[in-house]
Structure 1
Amino acid sequence: MSEVELPRVLQQLWGLEGPARPGPKPTFHISEIGAAAVRLADAGGLGAVSMSKVAAELGRTTMALYRYVDSKDDLYVVMLDEAFGSPAPVDASLDWRARITAWAEAFRDGLARHPWVLQVPVFEPPLSPKQLDWMEAALSAFENTPLTPKDQLSSMLLVNIYVRGTAQLTANLLTGDTAILEAAREADRLYAQRLAMLATPDRFPSIAANLAGGRLEDFDADYTADEFQVGLDVVLDGIQQLIERRKS
C-alpha cells in the first residue's frame, strides 16, 4: 500500500516537513496567516477575507502567501484551526452528560465569537490538529459508556449538528449589530403575521397552537441560553436512551 500523502497545508499545521519549494524560505508560521484571516473575518465577515487582504494584513505580497497556502480552501482550513483553538480541559471524573454538555457550550461560545464559521464551506471531516482536539474531546466524553465506536461518532455528530443549527438560526443575534437585530425582529413579526393568515387551526393545528402561544415569533432574536439547554437536553435524552439499550 502506498504511503498516504497529506496536503501541504496540513503538513504545515502538523509541523511535518514536506518537499522543499523553490524560492526564499518561509519567514513566518502558517498560524500567523490564520490569525490575520480570522481578524479580517471577525471585523467584516467571511466576505472580507481574500488572499490579497490577508497578505496586506501581514505586510506581504499576495504571491508570498502562496508559499504557504495553495488556495482559499486551504486558507479556510487554517482559519478554522486558528479561530477555535483547542478546547479547554474538562474534568474526566464527570459523567458523559456533563462532559458533552461542557463541550457543546464551548462550541456554541466559539461560534458566537466567530459567526462567520457557519459560512465556511465544508467538504470533508476535520484533519487539522486543533479541530481533531475538539473531536477527541467530544468522543472521549462517551469513553465510559457502553456505546460502540459508531454510536459515539453518531452521538458526537448529533450534538455538533444541534449546536451548529441553533447558531445558524440565531446568526443575526450573534452579529451584535442592533440595526441587523431589529431588522431580524421585524422580519420575524411579519413572518408570524403571514403564517397566522395561512396556517389555520383546522389544517395546521400544531402550528396554530404555537402561534397562539407566541413561540414562533422573535425566535432567533430572543433565543436564550435556557432554550439552548432545553434543546440540548432533548438531544442528550435520546443518547441516554441509546446507552440504556446498549446496556441490555
Structure 2
Amino acid sequence: MDESELPRVLQQMWGIEGRSRPGPKPAFHISDIGRAAIKLADAGGLAAVSMSKVAAELGFTTMSLYRYVDAKDDLYVVMLEHVFSEPPELDPKKPWRDRITTWAEAFHQGLRQHPWILQIPIAEPPLSPNQLTWMESGLQAFAGTPLTPQDRLSAMLLVNIYVRGTAQLTATMATDPDAVAETDRLYTQRLTMLATPDRFPGIAATLEQPPDEGYAGDFDSTEFAFGLGTVLDGIQSLINRRS
C-alpha cells in the first residue's frame, strides 16, 4: 500500500509526510485539535463539537482547521486517538484472564469518563497509532494460550463488544454515588410493586433473594464483573478445546 493512500488525517498521526497543502506553515499540531474537541465533548457532549467551535477553542478560524482535517469524520478520528491514555501495562507473568480483565476494566473506565465516545459512528476498524496500540495490547493478553491468532482477535473483539455494551447501558445514568444509590433504591421499590410473582415469577424470585444475593442494581461494578466473568468463562472453554 502506498503511503499516499492513507487519509491525510492518518498520515499526520503516523508522522508520514504527505503532499503539503499551499498556505502558511501549520500553527499547531493535530493533537491540539483533538484535545480541544475532547474538552468540548466532555463539557457538552458530542453535539457540542463542531469545526467552528473547535477552531474558536484554539483561537483560529474554521478554515484553518481544514489544513488538518477534511471533514467532521476526520475530527472524530483525532478525538478517538487522543481521548484514551495508553493501555494498561499487562504483567506477562499473570494468567491470561487477569491480563484481559485489566485491559477490559481500563477500557470500561475510559468509556465511563467520556461517554460521548459511544455516540461516534464506527465507519471502519481502527488505524490510528494509539487505537492500534490498544488492539495489540488486547491481543497480547492472550499470549501463552493455545488460541490461534484469529481466535485471539475474535476473543478480544468479544470482550470489546461486551465492554461497550455495558457502558452504553449506563452512559445516561447518574455518576454521583448518592444519586446512583437513590436511583437503585427507587427502581427496586417500584420493581417490587410491579413485578408480582403471578405475572413475573422470574423477576420476583430475584427480588426475594437476600440482599447479598439478589438484585444489586449496579451495572458499573457487580453486573459488569459478572458479565465479564461469564464472557471469559466462554473463552476459557475455547482454550480448553484448543488444548
Do the two structures share a fold, i.e. TM-score over 0.5? Answer: yes
- In the comparison of the two structures, how many residue pairs are matched? 240
Q: CA deviation at 1:157?
A: 0.9
Q: Which runs of 5+ in 1 are unaligned?
A: none
The 1:149/1:207 distance shift into structure 2, 3 A limit, reads same
Q: CA deviation at 1:166?
A: 1.2
1:172 alignment partner, SS class: coil
Q: In the alignment, what sits opposite 1:20?
A: 20
Structure-1 separation of matches of 2:150 and 2:220: 32
- The one-letter code of the counterpart of 1:192 is L
- The one-letter code of the counterpart of 1:93 is K
Percent of pairs identical after alignment?
61
Structure-1 separation of matches of 2:181 and 2:68: 41
The 1:102/1:241 distance shift into structure 2, 3 A limit, reads same
Q: In the alignment, what sits opposite 2:98?
A: 98
Q: Which runs of 5+ in 2 are unaligned?
A: none
The 1:132/1:195 distance shift into structure 2, 3 A limit, reads farther
Structure-1 separation of matches of 2:22 and 2:178: 50
Q: In the alignment, what sits opposite 2:241?
A: 245
Output the aligned Cα RMSD: 2.7
* Structure 1 stretches of at least 4 aligned residues deviating more than 6 Å after TM superposition: 214-218
Q: Is the 8 A contact 1:104 1:159 kept in 2?
A: yes
1:120-144: CA deviation from partner (whole Å, max 9, x where unpaired): 1111111110011100000001121
Q: In the alignment, what sits opposite 2:202?
A: 206
Q: CA deviation at 1:218?
A: 8.1
The 1:188/1:138 distance shift into structure 2, 3 A limit, reads same
Query: TM-score when scaled to structure 2?
Result: 0.87
Q: CA deviation at 1:230?
A: 1.8
Q: CA deviation at 1:88?
A: 2.6
The 1:96/1:177 distance shift into structure 2, 3 A limit, reads closer
1:131-171: CA deviation from partner (whole Å, max 9, x where unpaired): 11100000001121100111111110111111111111111
The 1:178/1:33 distance shift into structure 2, 3 A limit, reads farther
